[in-house]
Structure 1
Amino acid sequence: MCGIVGYIGRRDATPVLIQGLKRLEYRGYDSFGIATVGSAIEVYKKMGRISDGEAGAAHLHGCTGIGHTRWATHGEPNDVNAHPHTDCTGKIAVVHNGVIENYSELKRQLLARGHIFRSETDTEVIAHLIEEHYDGDLLAAVNAILPELHGSYAVLAIAEDTEQIVAARNASPLVLGVGDAEVFAASDMTPLLEYTERVIYLEDGDVADLTPDRYTVYHDGRTVDRPVELISWCVEDTRKGGFDHYMLKEIFEQPQSFYETIRAGIDDRIRQMVLEAEEITLVACGTSYHTALIFKYLAEALCNIPVRVELGSEFKYFTPPLHGLVIAVSQSGETADTIAALKMAKARNCPTLAITNMQGSTVTRVADQTLLMRAGPEIGVAATKSYTAQLAALMEIVNVRCDGAFDDVLSHAHLAIGDVLLHEIKEAVALCAGAEHVFFVGRGAFYPVSLEGALKMKEISYVHAEGYAAGELKHGPFALLTAETPVVAVCTPGPTYGVMASNIKEMKARKAPVIALGVVGDTELAEITDIFIPIPNTHLLVQVLTASVVLQLLAYHTACALQCDVDKPRNLAKSVTVE
């Protein structure tokens, strides 16, 4: 959730930290701050956006520093609760991502021993604990306090009169960047792209000692070698490239990211795993859950294999009986609920497969095998190209189970995605922008497509939207239909076309205006609806993709019409790394 950046080297740390935090803005945040080691520990932190408050950090000096963007968990968003946090003496500063589950008990103990707390956060206990053990050796002090911390953490700590950063990780992502006489640390690779292509992914339980000219990683008190890996992304991938918003840029990148994911294919080990599975369970959250539901409909219909889909947040507490292949789907590879479910599946000796966009992320190290999406960096909080790249990976699994029956369909699907990017949807946008509530409906695989369309609408435009299997509206939601309640219906040729058309007529009878997505040339559907948006008359797999992209555009343009902050919707984070 939160974003962390650390720098130690030959440059002035403040500009590096500020730029790095800006690269992490997509993770979501309500405040930010940095601390540097100059003549003393110097701290600047502020509630709100970096762009509004970064000038206040100009007075900070030093070539060693740490920075943080906060997504509030303990204590409301304000200047005091913003990170970094310091100890009683002001000589130690820390930033932290994660949740210290036993912080209340630790705080009571520290207060009893005379410590003075300034914030409501769980993180501040880390600074005070380090203070109690610090005698000039920051690495030893951090190592001493880690056994006391229960929960998840990625921690960076600095101390006065040192050229050193100590980093520690447990169940929260932390990556090192190796430069020329400089070392970086961050929550993910995006802040590193401008400075180095060499990265080290820390493992749970790792502690790293960073100085300008070296880094040493320890695990259980012993030095360990973590491989240096090369990043394939570049800094240009993280820029808007002339688009008004990252989200629009990423919507338009979908033909390429889908094609690249399909072209990468599936290696023989994953292929064998998929072919041997007698049943499949998918675990995911949010948008990834919707792609998993789409896979369920496609795999059961086309491959005749039973598929179960579980919410990661429920799985840990209500674990179903597990048999066969378990697939964890996570864009970031750091989704806490999905990782916990994956570990439980492994404990039950199930073969596990991760589908993610982030090489080196936690799910890639936990799962037996990884199917990597080829979406590249996705900066907009609302998932777009990562959604279709997930679908590419999942559709390729369907294709493997069907002995390559859809090779030609999938290899050309990117062309159909490109066809719908320039659709004229102004009427539909105006209808949605003027509504307080919008329903999205579909049947079969288009039911989860509708769920995703509703999610996109509410998360970036703040228009209340709900997705339903079309036949379920008459079981209650019909009570909410009025002339001011638009319905977005996906209705394509297939076994449910007739009943779907009947459902639309039922909605029209309740005076609800209907926006329909149907195939080119469907005059019947155009006649019974208020607004008709055509998509290519192609294979079901491709119709799922094109309908999804149109719904992304509908949400995007509605949000723009309502003057919403499309790339940084309120209260949301890109990567949900806490439970």
Structure 2
Amino acid sequence: MPHQQRGSSQKQSGKQEHRGLMCGIIGYSGPRDAQQVLLEGLQRLEYRGYDSAGIAIVGAEGLQVFKDEGDVAKLMSGMPLIEGHSGIGHTRWATCGRPSKENAHPMVDCDHCLAVVHNGIIENRGELKERLENLGHTFTSETDTEVLVHLLEEYYHGDLRQALKRTLEDVKGTYAIAAVCQGHEEIVAARKENPLIVGLGAEENFLASDITAVLNYTNKIIYIEDGEMLSLTPQEVQIFNNKGEKINKDYIIVSWTAEDAQKGGFEHYMLKEIFEQPVSIHNSLLGNFDKIMAGELLSAQDISSIKLIACGTSYNASLVGKYAIEALSGIPATVELASECRYSSETKEDPLVILVTQSGETADTLAAARLAKKRGQRTLAITNVVGSTITREVDEVFYTQAGPEIGVAATKTYVTQLMAMYMLALKLGKSRMLRRDEIHRYTHGLKAMPRTVANVLAKSEEISAAVDMLTEAQSVFFLGRHINYPTMLEGALKLKEISYIHAEGYAAGELKHGPLALLDADTPIVASCVWDMSYEKMLSAISEVAARDSPVLGIGIEGDRDLEAIVDQAICIPEVEGILSPLPLTVVVQLIAYHTARKRGCPIDRPKNLAKSVTVD
């Protein structure tokens, strides 16, 4: 495909590129109808982005591309039948370039012979575009991705993989990229700091950003690592390292099923996943507790301090972990936002660094893991995804075993992160300060947690009625103390994520330092008040906000008449050990957020401006 001189396009005046979230890639080559496989895969990947979508199929009619602004359902409603057995697809979360048909992937070259889909950021997009325009390439979008397909066009001389290799040598940035060429069933792909997996079938093979996209067809998965490139056809998958050498990689068998990732009759994925939490907690205990307590993870003797590093919801889980670790083991623990970790100075301390990320692909957390390794610190990852990037960056891994989570707002992955924190804290405390009867008591509490959480879920309709006081609010405060301060941070985060109500989590002792000025009859309060060391202080704080006429939704222990007497609405949880109370309380605040968002008519599984994980920084 020799390159011919083309008219130069006008300089675009679109948006500057900026750091974004993530998108979804699917690829297929085999005997099936590629259109059906790709569209089904995009539907399963839509939690990764739903601003626009598209597919490119190689068939008898050449390279056929169909894409549009909007979600996959809109794409499917206007799509003609496209015949062919190899192709790639993409569902996009707009970062570089607004959501539009022109900015949707796949991107095609000037001769409409090559198509590319891409996740990530091309940092030197401007200079590459200028160079390519000077060579005669015409650009039709605002995206950074389009430079990739024109570079590929420039370097393609019959070998698509070599053309991609040359293309990526010119690129600065991050990517998961897949490309096809008319007349060929081959798909070529590569990754750098964006997830990419291969699914192995019988005379067919798959490519995707996430295993959920291919589970209907195969559970044999190969994780592609940074710097690797691959060539995929129906007959084989060849993988090459960053030196261009062919390498052999073993596949893993994934225990999840396609049904695990479906709604199962629930109105939303989020609600389904909230109700799956008793099973997720059980699986997390079953898969981890005995091994941890037997010493297969961590040696407590040489740990003098712990640093937990995470983002978002995982950060809140880490804050709970700090309280639990210090209470049960006596080991001092600190918590740091992964995005801020790069600015911290190295100290004389040599902590155990625990990195918490549900996806195992969070860019800031991966950067923090690499910094810790560079400093010679011992590292442990807590993650839900077997084989994810973080698992190859650390010394030890704790798999939470929550199962697949599709809802953008984390629920069961958060609860199983809490379970991980408690199991690690109990393991560390066992050899340090806990008596045998204390170990037994906490162990019993953890093993009873699936039943405890099921009892909370049985109150879903009661919680739905209680949230009427929140649905019209412009702002809501969540108050807690001690180990349930981070639980209230999580509650506020969930409410703002899916209901679009401004919400703030506050340590109740900080009320007098500013927030009291904002309280009035139009500003509801959600307050946790359980029977632990903070109980009396929380009763006092609730009385104080009630005196400012703020309506109060209290969450406490069944039978607490003192709490019921001072709140407008009370939601009760079964009595548990105070240190373990974040587990049932978390389920309550999840349901508060869910029912509030549902009553407000919000798109719960697709909150605006958010995606499931952040794979660029």
TM range (shorter): over 0.9
Partner residue, 1:574: 612
Contact 1:275 1:400 in 2 (8 A): no
Partner residue, 1:213: 235
Question: How many pairs are equivalent?
Answer: 579
Which of 187, 190, 200 is equivalent to 2:209? Answer: 187
Report the secondary structure of 2:78's partner residue. Answer: helix
Computed over aligned residues only, the root mean square deviation of the Cα atoms, in angstroms, reads 1.3
Which of 505, 521, 526 is equivalent to 1:488? Answer: 526
Which of 281, 292, 298 is equivalent to 1:272? Answer: 298
Alpha-carbon deviations, 1:334-391, whole Å to 9, x = none? 1111111111111111111111110011011111111101111111111010110111
Contact 1:440 1:467 in 2 (8 A): yes
Contact 1:438 1:464 in 2 (8 A): yes
More moved, 144-153 vs 382-391: 144-153
**Cα distance in structure 2, aligned partners of 1:515 and 1:53:** 43
Which of 159, 179, 186 is equivalent to 1:157? Answer: 179
Report the residue type matching 1:407 in the other structure: T
TM-score (norm 1): 0.98
**Cα distance in structure 2, aligned partners of 1:562 and 1:313:** 32
Q: Check 1:184–1:21 CA distance in 2 against 1; reply closer, same or farther (3 A cut).
A: same
**Cα distance in structure 1, aligned partners of 2:512 and 2:553:** 18
Contact 1:323 1:350 in 2 (8 A): yes
Report the residue type matching 1:214 in the other structure: E
Contact 1:139 1:166 in 2 (8 A): yes
In the alignment, structure 1 residue 460 sits paired with structure 2 residue 498: yes
Report the residue type matching 1:112 in the other structure: N
**Cα distance in structure 2, aligned partners of 1:262 and 1:122:** 44
Q: Check 1:276–1:264 CA distance in 2 against 1; reply closer, same or farther (3 A cut).
A: farther
Which residues in structure 2 correspond to 1:40-439 (within 5 Å)?
Answer: 40-219=62-241, 220-265=243-288, 266-267=291-292, 271-319=297-345, 321=347, 323-403=350-430, 404-405=439-440, 406-423=442-459, 424-439=462-477
**Cα distance in structure 1, aligned partners of 2:296 and 2:172:** 35
Report the residue type matching 2:454 in the other structure: G
Q: Cα offset for 1:270?
A: 5.1
Alpha-carbon deviations, 1:178-225, whole Å to 9, x = none? 111111000010011000111111111111011111110011110001
In the alignment, structure 1 residue 444 sits paired with structure 2 residue 482: yes
**Cα distance in structure 2, aligned partners of 1:281 and 1:29:** 36
Report the secondary structure of 1:380's partner residue. Answer: coil
**Cα distance in structure 1, aligned partners of 2:47 and 2:519:** 35
**Cα distance in structure 2, aligned partners of 1:53 and 1:179:** 27
Partner residue, 1:16: 37
**Cα distance in structure 2, aligned partners of 1:127 and 1:200:** 26
Contact 2:57 2:63 in 1 (8 A): yes
**Cα distance in structure 2, aligned partners of 1:474 and 1:28:** 41
Report the residue type matching 2:330 in the other structure: N
Partner residue, 1:561: 599
Report the residue type matching 2:606 in the other structure: K
Report the residue type matching 2:51 in the other structure: D
**Cα distance in structure 2, aligned partners of 1:52 and 1:169:** 29
Report the residue type matching 2:272 in the other structure: K
**Cα distance in structure 1, aligned partners of 2:159 and 2:295:** 47
Alpha-carbon deviations, 1:263-294, whole Å to 9, x = none? 21245665334553211111111100000001
Report the residue type matching 1:305 in the other structure: I
**Cα distance in structure 1, aligned partners of 2:174 and 2:263:** 33
Q: Cα offset for 1:239?
A: 1.1
Report the residue type matching 2:613 in the other structure: S
Alpha-carbon deviations, 1:103-130, whole Å to 9, x = none? 1121121122221111111111110111
**Cα distance in structure 1, aligned partners of 2:50 and 2:395:** 33
Partner residue, 2:13: none
**Cα distance in structure 1, aligned partners of 2:393 and 2:372:** 10
Q: Cα offset for 1:323?
A: 2.0
Contact 1:30 1:48 in 2 (8 A): yes
**Cα distance in structure 2, aligned partners of 1:238 and 1:271:** 29
In the alignment, structure 1 residue 532 sits paired with structure 2 residue 570: yes
Report the residue type matching 1:167 in the other structure: A
**Cα distance in structure 2, aligned partners of 1:301 and 1:124:** 53
**Cα distance in structure 1, aligned partners of 2:380 and 2:301:** 13
**Cα distance in structure 2, aligned partners of 1:312 and 1:73:** 21
Report the secondary structure of 2:154's partner residue. Answer: helix
Q: Cα offset for 1:501?
A: 1.2
Report the secondary structure of 1:271's partner residue. Answer: coil
Q: Cα offset for 1:464?
A: 1.1
Q: Cα offset for 1:499?
A: 1.7
Alpha-carbon deviations, 1:66-112, whole Å to 9, x = none? 00011111011111011110111111100001111111121121122
**Cα distance in structure 2, aligned partners of 1:293 and 1:95:** 38
Report the residue type matching 1:84 in the other structure: P
More moved, 353-362 vs 257-266: 257-266
Unmatched runs of 5 consecutive residues or more in structure 1: none
Which residues in structure 2 correspond to 1:471-482 (within 5 Å)?
Answer: 471-482=509-520
Q: Check 1:270–1:326 CA distance in 2 against 1; reply closer, same or farther (3 A cut).
A: farther
Contact 1:416 1:542 in 2 (8 A): no
Contact 1:217 1:223 in 2 (8 A): yes
Partner residue, 2:11: none
Unmatched runs of 5 consecutive residues or more in structure 2: 1-21, 431-438
Q: Cα offset for 1:474?
A: 1.6
Contact 1:193 1:235 in 2 (8 A): yes
**Cα distance in structure 1, aligned partners of 2:401 and 2:147:** 40
**Cα distance in structure 2, aligned partners of 1:464 and 1:14:** 42
Contact 1:44 1:56 in 2 (8 A): no
Q: Cα offset for 1:59?
A: 3.0
Contact 1:261 1:373 in 2 (8 A): yes
Report the secondary structure of 1:445's partner residue. Answer: helix
**Cα distance in structure 2, aligned partners of 1:494 and 1:373:** 27
